[in-house]
Structure 1
Amino acid sequence: GTEIDIHHRLLPKTSHLASAPAPLFAAARTLADPRLRILAPADMILHALVHLFLEGDPDEGLRLRDLADVHDLLCHHGQEPAFWASLVPRARALGFQRPLFYGLHHAHQFFGTPIPPDVLHELEDAAPAWPIRKLMNRLIPLALLPGHPDHPSRLAALARWLIYVRAHWLRMPPGLLIKHLSHKAWLRLRGFRKRVDLAQLDLKQQ
């Protein structure tokens, strides 16, 4: 079956990035059935990139399949003459130029996505400071690539965790972040203890 994720805004109200849904709804395109609408092409890509780079998972990391979706969207909509000219201005209007910067850069790095040079140049002022840029260029690929089941990488695990913390730092203020991460850590610890207890019980029963 098809899974539908329904949410009323891109990011929580506590996020450092503005994420009012009204501009997305206003620009949505009507389908053949006038009761149905979809996001405009630029908004589809920005929506996907915000979810990709501002969520993360401490175990799974970033989802390479989501970046592949962005690649497909860029290749598809990039054939429209006005698309590339509208993408960066739309990102600026919504405050999503940093996710777009990371998305275009890494889509090109991973999939060879054809991106006009003038678009990349236009986004240069959205890039982070040089040290952060170098760090993110190292962390993001590590967090995107799936880990080897038999040979897990501690460096990749650290990258996934740092990307996860970064995403939550952008989604909530420090006090709420500490409370949230502490709660998550406690739940993970309880789960680990439960798994250990069950494993010991299994050993006793053998």
Structure 2
Amino acid sequence: MTAPTMPLLRLLLEGTLPAGFEGRDWERLLGQARGGRLLGRLAWRLQAQGLMPQLPAQVRTALEASLRVLDRHRHEVRHELLAVREALQPLGQPVLLLKGAAYLLAELPPSRGRSFSDIDLLVPEGQLAAVESALMAHGWISEERQAYNQRYYRQWMHEIPPLRHVQRGSVLDVHHAIAPRSSRFHSPGDVLIADSLPIGASGFRRLQPVDLALHSALHLCLDGELDHAWRDLLDLHDLLGLLPGTDDEARAEALLARAAALKLLPVLAQALAPLCAVQPANALVHHLSRGLEVTLPGWQQQAPARWMCTALGLEADASAARRRRAATRLYWRAHLLRMPLHLLVPHLARKAWMGLRERFRTADPS
């Protein structure tokens, strides 16, 4: 995992061009942006700041090309959303868009320069079967053929197996909650749906601002794969700016109160630690940090927060080996947050056996 350098983070957060950059410096910076799925965000920021003319010609060409790709991607996603609406509108049930699709259709700040590979939906659990049937009737089918994996999704996860369109290849992840049933952070999706907001006249809904921020933090902590963690953290940074309230202290209180109600304070603390390190002068982040100190004393010194900062390259004296160890700890912590040990060990053993059996089955007899 390659951590973004401070020049890249300053570009992404502030639109400040690094001084004294030459060809190889820009080459490394663009490589970091690509590796973290941040190239589109970088291109959008530089274009919005009017800084494109000041860039070397090759850098400008690469960034302008990424913007053209993003425009095409946005068009394709909007087309798929029309097809999803056509499939689900007859059910008369609320359908929420999550993450990238919600950001795009609601034109929220994290959509700027963001691409994503699938469309995430959140529907009432009681309507899950009807939603799946309606989508299958319109061409989205499950490619998961293993009976064990089907049972695993439906018994323990917060979503059904992904559905892929037979002609267009678009992928839908249909959720009934934002954390697995087996997770200690699970709560019924109906709670979030009840407080959701309409996305204009699109027929879709989205999470309210405090829930958008908490879902972003939860996804970062439960995912375990940190290759694209900075994209999620920058999403969270943008979403914090949408919090309701008359001032930063009130906004922080609103988020902390909702996190406490949904029992998500630990994941909020883990996700907030890197933002505190990168933007110590940010007033909202400061109030959130102080508020967390009341309920989770010494939270920034607790292991998950320290591991996040180490793994993401925010400790100047941390060796590459130390960063890898921190990332490995976060990976296994994410597994344990999704599923307790007494369920996780048999599941991993079963998956390992299935993988070995498949390898032997497809091996060349020679």
Paired residues of 2:184 and 2:337 also in contact (CA < 8 A) = yes
Matches within 5 A, 1:134-149: 134-145=302-313
Quote the offset at 1:123 in angstroms: 1.5
Within the candidate set 102, 114, 119, 2:283 is matched to: 114
Distance 1:189 1:139, change over 3 A: farther
Higher RCO (CA < 8 A, seq sep 6+): 1
Q: TM-score, normalised by structure 2?
A: 0.43
Distance 1:160 1:28, change over 3 A: same
Paired residues of 1:61 and 1:161 also in contact (CA < 8 A) = no
Distance 1:156 1:186 in 2: 31
> Equivalent residue for 1:164?
331
Identity %: 33
Matches within 5 A, 1:1-206: 1=73, 2=77, 3-5=118-120, 6=173, 7-33=175-201, 35-57=203-225, 60=226, 63-74=229-240, 76-78=241-243, 80-81=245-246, 83-112=251-280, 113-115=282-284, 117-127=286-296, 133-145=301-313, 153-182=320-349
Distance 1:105 1:121 in 2: 12
- Partner of 2:233: helix, strand, or coil? helix
Q: Deviations over 1:34-82 (max 9, x none)?
A: 622111100000000001012212xx456111001111111x2157425
Unaligned runs of 5+ in 2: 1-72, 78-117, 121-172, 358-366
Distance 1:56 1:189, change over 3 A: farther
Q: TM-score, normalised by structure 1?
A: 0.73
The structure that has the greater radius of gyration is 2
Q: Size of the alignment, in residue pairs?
A: 185
Distance 1:133 1:186, change over 3 A: farther
Q: Deviations over 1:64-114 (max 9, x none)?
A: 11001111111x215742533311111111111111122333212124443
- Partner of 1:100: helix, strand, or coil? helix
Quote the offset at 1:126 in angstroms: 3.9
Distance 1:153 1:128 in 2: 29
Larger mean Cα displacement after TM superposition, 47-56 or 107-116: 107-116
Paired residues of 1:41 and 1:83 also in contact (CA < 8 A) = no
Q: Deviations over 1:173-199 (max 9, x none)?
A: 212212344456678999xxxxxxxxx
Paired residues of 2:269 and 2:292 also in contact (CA < 8 A) = yes
- Partner of 2:186: helix, strand, or coil? coil
